[in-house]
Amino acid sequence: MNLLLTELLSKCCIEYLIVDENLKILEKSFGVSRFAGLPDAIKLYQDVRILFPELEGLEDIFNTIKEGRKNSFELKGISRSQSTDSPLYIDINVIKNIQEDSISNQLMILVKDSTERMVLEQSLFQGTNEANLLLRNLKASKQYIDQILSSMADALLVTTLSGKLELEEQPFALPNCIKETLSLFAPKVKEKGLKLTFIDKPEVPTMILGDITRLRQVLINLLSNALKFTETGGIEVSVITRKNRDIHSPAATNTDEIQFTIEDTGIGIARDRLDRLFQAFSQADSSIARQYGGTGLGLAICKQLCELMGGKIWVESEPGIGSKFYFTITAPVILEGVVSQEGKIRNVADDAEIDASKPQLRILLAEDNLVNQKIALKQLQSIGYKADVANNGKEVLEIIKKNPYDLIFMDCQMPILDGIETTKEIRLWEDNLFASHRRPIVIAMTANAMKEDKKMCLDAGMDDFLSKPVFKEQLAATLEHWSQFIFKIQSEKLTEQAVSVIEADLLELPIDWEYLHQLSENNAEFELELLQIFIEDTQSHLAITKAAIAANDFPKLAREAHHLKGASANIGARKMHLAADKLEKLAHHQERRGTNILVSELEEFLNCIQDFLRRSQ
């Protein structure tokens, strides 16, 4: 082929084939073989269609080009290369041979690797689909949420006034809570041409204990009002804290007063009307309800919630200038670097990383609402967990008989069999009915957040309770708490199994258990895993050892014996260590006599450990 053309194609990362009218390969570039299976797959005078099934029908293409009806054809394909696990996407162009001395009955097939472009396009397509799905879910949820907010506000006011509302106390990241709440208003703020600002002071605590849902309710209510009554300018949210911390205190937390300010440049409120704002069904002006809507319940609810959270709410405002709403809460602050009740330093921001480094929980999500399913699965994924889905209680009971689960998130209101009745049924089962041979933890996920609802769930046998909407911080904290409980139970069970087997077989097993317990810090699961790795490693090295003896390869025999000696000493297999030491010495003296006997001893010791592991499972 023309050298200049070859160089030009090479610089463009294009490989080529030249075929005759019978579609036999006459010429090929050096690198084209990698697109057709094995490196030496392409040979001259082969039918090109055998190697590239995408070229079926090439004879019709040949005639079309030969008759001048078309100059080129573009095809796409996927390489079936055996040298890589991933497919190679290729672009194929069929043209008339463009060399100066070419014959009219020859075709040139140009092949280019388009894998990188295809992967990027697929990632973009997937990302776009996910974004569109979330957008559809949000739009589908918005109307439903708008409809229930008013009735929720009425019910909440009644329950707070009668003292029935019980606050949750869960760890959560305060800055994240505020930023995520502000993000809900970003589209509307942009639509109105306003500016939304958050001022985060350095002294504001990162982690606090409290009811994130109720705090969000206050923020959402005040931000909704600010956005509703502001047509120009913007809204500013700021947070300050009044510290009350004793660094010498033995307690893991200290209580701070945290003050929030929501300032807007809206229509403002007359001073003589400020006192009435926090009364139920009261607004600054009756005309406001006609123009902007609302019942006047929101601020009364905020007042009750702030008082429940150990704080208060007040306002400063000037008509035509804007308003400043202040509210405070008191909350225990989780100090940086302080160990939590579970014995670990908690940092919700790192939950996904923490979860990735520990055994994964097997989670089942019982939820009939498709939107709620998508949101819950996305939240779980974002903090490092996966979950299977059941659409009703009947499916839950069928699934947990077949598949082992550690934890179930249970919606209370589902068709066929609801979450309450499903949990009662689970409570009646014996452990051997579960695929995991033990009852999974059941956590309620329900929009009913009243005290009596929580009591009903716990009375049915549920282990914990989360009120919807469930936010990522709550989910992460709940999973962190229950994962430690679950893994502790699993570890204790393994320890009991291992100890019972150890006590029965202690005399016959060639292991120094005192040494191994000290090495593992009495972690039975670690010991069993270590012994399994030792078996797999030793088996391969014993095979090499026997081959070295058969070949009288004493240097290799010495190396293998030395490896076996070190590995057995590391796990406390004293007898194996001594046998391997003798074998190494024989190898150094190039003495074959006695080597096979020592190898047999090593295999016998290894079989004892294997039998022990088999019985301990």
Please give the share of the chain, as a percent, with pLDDT higher than 90. 21
Q: What is the 3-state secondary structure (H, E, C) of 460-481?
A: CCCCEEEECCCCHHHHHHHHHH
First to last CA, the chain: 67
Q: What is the 3-state secondary structure (H, E, C) of 384-412?
A: CCCEEEECCHHHHHHHHHHCCCCEEEEEC
**Does 279 map to a domain?**
yes
Say what the pLDDT of residue 365 is: 95
CATH of the domain at 588: 1.20.120.160
> pLDDT at residue 233 above 80?
yes
- The pLDDT mean for the chain works out to 77
> pLDDT at residue 44 above 80?
yes
Let me know whether 517 and 573 are in one domain.
Answer: yes
**Does 327 map to a domain?**
yes
The secondary structure of 293-323 as a DSSP string is ---S-HHHHHHHHHHHTT--EEEEEETTTEE
Q: What mean pLDDT is predicted for residues 275-281?
A: 72
Q: β-strands 363-366, 387-390: how paired?
A: parallel
The secondary structure of 78-144 as a DSSP string is EE--SS-SS-EEEEEEEEE--STT--TT-EEEEEEE-HHHHHHHHHHHHHHHHHHHHHHHHHHHHHH
Torsion (CA) 548, 551, 556, 557 in degrees, nearest 10: 50
Q: What mean pLDDT is predicted for residues 126-134?
A: 68
Task: Find out whether 530 and 571 touch, Cβ atoms under 8 Å.
Answer: yes
Let me know whether 577 and 518 are in one domain.
Answer: yes
Provide the pLDDT confidence category of residue 4 given band limits of 50, 70 and 90.
low
**Does 593 map to a domain?**
yes
Burial per residue of 109-134, b for 16 or more beta-carbon CB atoms within 10 angstroms, e otherwise: bbbbbbeeebeeeeeeeeeeeeeeee
Let me know whether 354 and 471 are in one domain.
Answer: yes
Say what the pLDDT of residue 230 is: 92
* Domain endpoint, select from 463, 479, 495: 479
> pLDDT at residue 102 above 60?
no
Identity of the amino acid at 348: V
Let me know whether 181 and 106 are in one domain.
Answer: no
**CA dist., res. 77 & res. 103, Å (int):** 28
Let me know whether 372 and 462 are in one domain.
Answer: yes
Task: Find out whether 459 and 424 touch, Cβ atoms under 8 Å.
Answer: no
Provide the pLDDT confidence category of residue 130 given band limits of 50, 70 and 90.
low
Let me know whether 582 and 518 are in one domain.
Answer: yes
Say what the pLDDT of residue 164 is: 56
Let me know whether 255 and 362 are in one domain.
Answer: no
**Does 554 map to a domain?**
yes
Say what the pLDDT of residue 17 is: 83
**Does 502 map to a domain?**
no
Provide the pLDDT confidence category of residue 292 given band limits of 50, 70 and 90.
very low
Provide the pLDDT confidence category of residue 347 given band limits of 50, 70 and 90.
very low
- Tell me the angle at which helices 212-228 and 174-192 cross, rounded to the nearest 10 degrees: 20
* Domain endpoint, select from 113, 148, 173: 113
> pLDDT at residue 362 above 70?
yes
Query: 375-384, 503-512, 564-573: which range is least confident on average?
Result: 503-512
Say what the pLDDT of residue 258 is: 94
Q: Encoding tokens for residue 477?
A: 């904290």
Q: Where are the alpha helices (DSSP H) in 572-594?
A: 574-588
**Does 340 map to a domain?**
no
Provide the pLDDT confidence category of residue 97 given band limits of 50, 70 and 90.
confident
Say what the pLDDT of residue 343 is: 31
Please write the tens of the pLDDT for every residue from 111-125.
888 877 777 776 676
CA quadruple 384, 385, 386, 390: dihedral sign: negative
CATH of the domain at 427: 3.40.50.2300
Identity of the amino acid at 611: D
Question: Where in the sequence is the domain holding 238, given as residue range(s)?
Answer: 165-334
Nearest CA among 475, 493, 371 for reference residue 431:
493
Give the DSSP H/E element, type plus range, for residue 148: helix 115-161
Say what the pLDDT of residue 104 is: 64
**Does 41 map to a domain?**
yes
Provide the pLDDT confidence category of residue 239 given band limits of 50, 70 and 90.
very high
Hunting for tokens 């100090």 — which residue is that?
A: 335
Let me know whether 475 and 520 are in one domain.
Answer: no
* Domain endpoint, select from 113, 130, 155: 113
Residue 455 backbone dihedrals phi, psi, to 5 degrees: -65, -40
Say what the pLDDT of residue 30 is: 76
Hunting for tokens 């549920």 — which residue is that?
A: 462
**CA dist., res. 82 & res. 440, Å (int):** 44
- What is the DSSP-derived secondary structure letter of residue 178? H
Let me know whether 216 and 311 are in one domain.
Answer: yes
Let me know whether 302 and 184 are in one domain.
Answer: yes
Say what the pLDDT of residue 517 is: 79
pTM of the model: 0.39
Let me know whether 355 and 462 are in one domain.
Answer: yes
**Does 576 map to a domain?**
yes
Q: Encoding tokens for residue 186?
A: 């970003």
CATH of the domain at 43: 3.30.450.20
**CA dist., res. 492 & res. 29, Å (int):** 64
Let me know whether 362 and 428 are in one domain.
Answer: yes
CATH of the domain at 285: 3.30.565.10
Provide the pLDDT confidence category of residue 330 given band limits of 50, 70 and 90.
very high
Please write the tens of the pLDDT for every residue from 502-513.
444 444 566 887
Nearest CA among 476, 464, 570 for reference residue 520:
570
* CB-count exposure of residue 266 (10 Å: 0-12, 13-18, 19+): buried
**CA dist., res. 447 & res. 465, Å (int):** 11
**CA dist., res. 497 & res. 510, Å (int):** 19
Looking at the structure of the chain, the number of domains it has is: 4
